């Protein structure tokens, strides 16, 4: 005689199995859709910030090649650390296959970055690092070495003597920290160069960089050179130098190379810039994120490199491609 309790148990097992199957059928396609999405979260989505727009184009190119969806996002201003954290927190709930992040602060982005990793979402950082051993993937310029090269160029330009000021961009960003450190370390070996102890900050805005340049010149009218640590900072300094009629009298060395910086190099306002490869950061960031998430490779550090560009090498084919990566 068949045990009724056994029949009830078997029926219940079949019911549960069928229910699980229905749930899987309903939700699995959506889950797969999410798995083909990579979010690229940068420090600023300001359309006038050419560095990050170039990163976006590199990411778009990689996404097209890999046939995945790529969503480019971030706060409008580089100083909006809270905004970037809120964006990341919202993305975690969407369960993408990976996040490519340019962290806006070395330490403040640690908790949310670790939350991403602990949520089993692949995290790749580009441009700047974060202070956690959990994130093992970084694609960026070797900012320490690039800043040291910029310092050597500044020393040469001012004849290895004179007063030099540093203007950085956002406090707490690893790139800002490394560039200032590299510049100070390299130029300190020249005994006749007086490197001003104070560091000015532009907050990543041209108008603040302009005002800060006026402050530098008010406090140190005999300054021989100014180092600007990123795109917006350099442009603000250059505009102030030009408006004051100090072209050639104050040497300006900095980072990045958008179209306006090129114009200032041609006019002799900017003497040299360390040009990075933001297109490569975006492109490799997305490719690395996808390959790591699919277990095709392990996380690693990739140095995308930087090139010192002056007026005398501005027009070489290699540097023109670097400055204008979208012109065929």
Give percent helix, percent strand, percent coil of the chain, each to the nearest 5.
50, 20, 35
* Residue recorded with tokens 């805005």: 205
Q: Are 87 and 113 in contact (CB under 8 A)?
A: no
Can you give the pTM of this predicted structure?
A: 0.82
The architecture of the domain spanning 143-275 is: 3-Layer(aba) Sandwich (3.40)
State the pLDDT at residue 320: 79
User: E-strand spans in the chain?
Assistant: 37-41, 69-73, 98-101, 122-126, 138-140, 162-168, 193-201, 223-228, 251-255, 272-275, 301-303, 307-310
Helix axes 231-243, 206-219, angle to 10 degrees: 50
State the pLDDT at residue 240: 98
Same CATH fold assignment for domains 34-141+278-305 and 143-275: yes
* Residue 230, phi then psi, degrees to nearest 5: -155, 180
Q: How far is CA 267 from CA 101, 129, 261, in A?
A: 36, 35, 10
* Residues in the chain where the model's pLDDT stays below 70: 1-35, 325-328
Q: Are 103 and 125 in contact (CB under 8 A)?
A: yes
State the pLDDT at residue 7: 56
Domain ranges of the chain: 34-141+278-305, 143-275
Query: What is the distance, to the nearest Å, from the Cα of residue 4 to the centroid of all Cα atoms in its chain?
Result: 67
Q: How many angstroms separate the CA atoms of 311 and 264, rounded?
A: 10
CATH class of 34-141+278-305: alpha beta
Q: How far is CA 323 from CA 12, 102, 257, in A?
A: 67, 21, 6
Return the sign of the alpha-carbon dihedral for residues 234, 82, 44, 141: positive
Beta bridge partners of 73: 41
* Residue recorded with tokens 């996380």: 299
Q: Which residues contact 191 (CB under 8 A, 6 or more apart)?
A: none
State the pLDDT at residue 328: 41
* DSSP code of residue 49: -
State the pLDDT at residue 31: 39
């Amino acid at each position: 005689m068949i045990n009724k309790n056994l029949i009830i148990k078997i029926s219940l097992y079949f019911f549960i199995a069928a229910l699980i199957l229905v749930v899987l059928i309903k939700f699995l396609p959506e889950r797969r859709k999410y798995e083909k999405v990579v979010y690229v979260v940068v420090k600023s989505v300001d359309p006038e910030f050419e560095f990050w727009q170039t990163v976006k184009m590199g990411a778009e190119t990689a996404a097209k090649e890999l046939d995945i969806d790529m969503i480019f996002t971030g706060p409008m201003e580089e100083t909006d650390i809270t905004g970037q954290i809120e964006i990341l927190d919202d993305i975690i709930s969407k369960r993408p296959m990976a996040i490519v992040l340019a962290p806006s602060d070395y330490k403040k982005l640690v908790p949310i970055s670790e939350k991403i990793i602990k949520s089993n979402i692949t995290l790749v950082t580009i441009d700047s690092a974060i202070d956690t051993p959990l994130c093992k993937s970084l694609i960026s310029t070797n900012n320490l070495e690039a800043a040291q090269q910029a310092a050597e160029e500044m020393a040469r330009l001012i004849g290895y003597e004179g007063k030099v000021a540093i203007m950085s961009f956002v406090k707490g960003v690893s790139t800002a920290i490394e560039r200032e450190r590299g510049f100070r370390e390299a130029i300190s070996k020249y005994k006749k160069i007086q490197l001003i102890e104070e560091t000015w900050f532009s907050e990543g805005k041209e108008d603040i960089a302009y005002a800060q340049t006026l402050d530098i010149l008010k406090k140190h009218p005999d300054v021989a050179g100014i180092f600007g640590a990123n795109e917006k900072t350099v442009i603000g300094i250059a505009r102030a130098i030009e408006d004051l009629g100090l072209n050639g009298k104050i040497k300006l060395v900095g980072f990045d190379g958008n179209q306006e910086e090129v114009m200032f190099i041609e006019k002799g306002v900017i003497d040299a810039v360390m040009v990075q490869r933001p297109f490569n950061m975006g492109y490799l960031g997305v490719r690395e994120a996808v390959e790591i998430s699919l277990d095709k490779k392990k996380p690693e550090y990739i140095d995308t490199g930087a090139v010192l560009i002056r007026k005398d090498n501005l027009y070489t084919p290699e540097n023109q491609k670097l400055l204008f990566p979208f012109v065929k």
